[in-house]
Chain A
Amino acid sequence: MEVIDLAWWKLALAAVLLLLLALCSHLSRLGITRSLLIAGTRTAVQLFLIGLILEALFAAADLVWIVLMAFVMLLVAGREVMARQERRLSGGWAFGIGTGAMFLSSFTVTILTLTVVIGPQPWYSPQYAIPLLGMMLGNTMTGVALSLDRLTESVWRQRAVIENRLMMGQTWREAVGDIRRDAMRGGMIPSINAMAAAGIVSLPGMMTGQILAGSPPAVAVKYQILVMFTITVGTGFGALMAVSVGSRRLFDTRERLRLDRLV
């Protein structure tokens, strides 16, 4: 099947529709016109830029550049995880824990998928490596940010309960156990829900894109299943690691609750 390239004027048509929406929301004073226009512009600019970078990267197919690109993506995701937490660990811990957890889970799962499951030649072929890593990081980021945010917020709100449990002679692990479980669940539920609803409520974005671009649905479906499994695995391990290290950091060696380590 041929890939139908999108003509520029058709893209412009979609932009006009977006402007029309902006006009309507302005007239009905919804107060979101500005953010709508800014977000629309950002989408266009950011995606064009990444398109240029990917074209260059695909042409070069050099491992060094791909690794560099991967680390830039990781650092941006780490910053995003930190920014999404209302209360976060101070002194670089919020960034370090989020980035470390994403690095270990996303990179491991992506490399495993590339080398063992998909097996392109060479294994780091950018057409496969970059989109796969991007999807892994994007989802792991959401999971890690959600679970860390839930952890720090719950510990903050339930500090009296945690301390009372410590007074009763519980270990820090027992005293914060419910909160840890809850935080890990909070990070994993979006990917579990996405798996449960896949194909029934909506066609997943990647699969839709692949079909629109001309792939046979049967192939698109296989890739989609692969991606959803790997995303869930990456997100789950990422959230587990982040919550384990993060909750340990909230107590000191004498098992005291250290809320002064949150900002």
Chain B
Amino acid sequence: MRPDHTLRLENVTIGELEQVSLTIASAEVVCLSGISGSGKSRLLRAVADLEDHGGRVFLGDIEQSQIAAHEWRRRVMLVPSESQWWSERVGDHFPDKAEVSGLSELGFDRQVMAWSVSRLSSGEKQRLALLRALAAAPQALLLDEPTANLDPETTETVERWLGSEIRERNMPVIWVAHDAGQIRRLADRAFYLNGHVLEAR
């Protein structure tokens, strides 16, 4: 039997957002949209435990506060819309001895690990941020507009690759997206943040 990685939000309250309850099954993709400032990113930050918040979050039967914060974040991985690169080479940002899968699917070869981060384009950064997140073997994904800097063709490549990884790794996913077409292609369920209330679409 596959391990249960259901992501469950119970009355999560952060900033203007109040009492958000949501259950995302393993391998389910929930898309989240809403005007900027409606609190989408902050909701993801609460789930990743990056900000003080009310309510409870569970991954399977483990509650957020039960395990060390860094261990929770490694399991419930947030990929921000603007990824940061703090070291000189791309490879320095990947977990040690990690099996990096998906390089060729996203248009890279192994050489990319030796690249200097200063020559990366914003689109390359965005794809590499996804690769390095998955290399840490998370059990749930929180994606904040992961294709915002990509052209339509690359966007669909990334969607196809992420979709198969999500199914294969059995991860629940909250995906912040704005493009109606993308939401239609990806979402098992979609929600719209309207005036700090979560509305099903």
Contacts and interface: CB of A to CB of B under 8 A. Distances in A.
Contact of A256 (B52, B93, B133): B52
B51 A164 contact: no
Given A167-B50, A255-B69, A256-B49, A160 B82 contact: yes
Interface string A250-262: 0010111100000
A176 to B, nearest CB: 11
Contacts of A75: none
B78 A256 contact: no
Interface string B70-88: 1101110111101110100
A49 to B, nearest CB: 49
Interface string B49-79: 1111000000000000100111101110111
A2 interface: no
Given A164-B84, A167-B50, A256 B70 contact: no
Nearest to A257: B50
A163 B50 contact: yes
A168 B132 contact: yes
Contact of B48 (A158, A167, A170): A167
Contacts of A172: 70
B86 to A, nearest CB: 5
Contact of B74 (A158, A161, A168): A168
Interface residues of B, number: 26
A169 B70 contact: yes
Nearest to B129: A164
A254 B84 contact: no
Given A168-B133, A256-B49, A161 B86 contact: yes
Given A256-B52, A256-B69, A167 B79 contact: yes
A210 to B, nearest CB: 48
Contact of B80 (A164, A252, A254): A164
Nearest to B49: A254
Interface in A165-198: 165-172, 178
Given A163-B50, A254-B49, A171 B70 contact: yes
A164 B69 CA distance: 14
Contacts of B136: 168-169
Contacts of A167: 48, 50, 73, 77-80
11 contacts: A160-B80, A161-B86, A164-B84, A165-B86, A166-B50, A166-B73, A167-B50, A167-B79, A255-B68, A256-B51, A256-B52
Interface of A: 158, 160-161, 163-172, 178, 252, 254-257
Closest 9 CB pairs of A and B: A169-B74, A164-B84, A255-B69, A254-B69, A161-B84, A167-B78, A171-B70, A161-B86, A169-B73
